[in-house]
């Protein structure tokens, strides 16, 4: 089981980085992308409103939802999770330095 997943991941990364496969070949679906954006937006805004945070936090919630969706869409499978976490952490860090 684990060996098969590792082989599949290796083949995918090889096809993306060595064969230069485009993001259109990554089998992403519009429905999944839109539902991911909606879920991220609802979740982030729910946290902001539940804690009564001011307007800049609403902007951060929207930016995080949009960046997560864009990164998920344009980065190859297998690398998008790391890229999303790192980029969103940097966005939050930049936000923290700006409102300080």
Is 9 contained in some domain? Answer: no
Is 78 contained in some domain? Answer: yes
Is 42 contained in some domain? Answer: yes
Is 64 contained in some domain? Answer: yes
Rounded to whole angstroms, the Cα distance separating 67 from 37 reads 9
The DSSP element (H or E) to which 37 belongs, if any, is helix 30-50
Convert the pLDDT of each residue in 25-49 to its tens digit: 456 677 888 888 899 999 999 999 9
Rounded to whole angstroms, the Cα distance separating 99 from 46 reads 21
Is 65 contained in some domain? Answer: yes
Number of domains in the chain: 1
Domain, as residue range, for 79: 28-99
Is 20 contained in some domain? Answer: no
Answer whether 71's CB lies under 8 Å from 36's CB.
no
Is 74 contained in some domain? Answer: yes
Is 2 contained in some domain? Answer: no
Rounded to whole angstroms, the Cα distance separating 57 from 90 reads 15
DSSP type of residue 1: -
pLDDT in tens, the chain (100 residues): 444 444 455 555 555 555 444 445 456 677 888 888 899 999 999 999 999 999 999 999 999 999 988 888 887 777 877 888 899 999 999 999 988 7
């Amino acid at each position: 089981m684990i060996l098969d997943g590792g082989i599949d991941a290796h083949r995918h990364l090889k096809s993306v980085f060595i064969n230069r496969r485009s993001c259109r070949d990554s089998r992403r679906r519009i429905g999944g992308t839109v539902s991911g954006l909606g879920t991220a937006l609802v979740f982030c805004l729910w946290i902001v409103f539940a804690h009564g945070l001011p307007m800049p936090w609403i902007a951060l919630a929207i930016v995080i939802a949009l960046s997560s969706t864009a990164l998920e869409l344009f980065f190859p499978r297998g690398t998008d999770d790391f890229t999303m976490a790192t980029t969103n952490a940097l966005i939050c860090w930049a936000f923290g330095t700006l409102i300080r």
